Amino acid sequence: MKNLAIFCADVGSIKQEKFGWAAILPDGREMYGANIEQFAWDIAEQINNKTKVAIGFECPLFVPVRNDPVQVNSARKNEGNRSWSAGAGTSALATGLVEVLWVMNAISGILGKKPKAVFEWSIFLDTESVYLWEAFVTSSSKGVGHTHDARIAVTHFKDSLPDPTTANAIKEADVFSLIGALALRAGWANDIAVLSEQCLVIKA
């Protein structure tokens, strides 16, 4: 795609400077930083410029829904030893919930309108919308710091083009979408069906 801006944030404590973000713009330029406000402003600028925007967050954005009580909080398929329900996973999940919502609300405030969030690539290509995805940077791929991790994630997303769905790393039969719930809360979605819709996971 020639008109695609790819963004990703590695969530973490703002006060302890553990938040980092990166982007690859349509002209190939790379941007990165550690300021969550700048992250929101740069995304809003691209949306204002009519650029297609894909935003990733490095934290669990959905959890599995299972009937077996023994498996109810087990790892998602292909998570390996970095389960969403383990210590680091639950911490990133909780931090991500508040930071993702903040970013969505900040973008809406800058734009003066609420973008439409979608999770299907084909719909994203055919509509004026924002594509939301999950970044999953494994321990063996970790960079030097949170900004570096975000740069690794956007590079992997770019490398998965033109169809990133072929690189989807996690597939669950039934999910509760946290990113869908956040989109509803932020006014980026209005159909509760998004609560059952899994987003793309790009694993590095």
Into how many domains does the chain fold?
1
Q: How many C-beta atoms surround the C-beta of residue 129 within 10 A? A: 19
Q: Are 176 and 72 in contact (CB under 8 A)?
A: no
User: So what's the pLDDT on residue 133?
Assistant: 98
Mean pLDDT, to the nearest integer, of 57-66?
Answer: 95
Residues spanned by the domain of 86: 4-203
3-state secondary structure string, 141-177? HCCCCHHHHHHHHHHHHHHCCCCHHHHECCCCCCEEE
User: So what's the pLDDT on residue 137?
Assistant: 85
What are the tens digits of pLDDT across the range 124-144?
A: 999 999 999 999 987 766 766
C-alpha 152 chain-centroid distance? 13
User: So what's the pLDDT on residue 141?
Assistant: 67
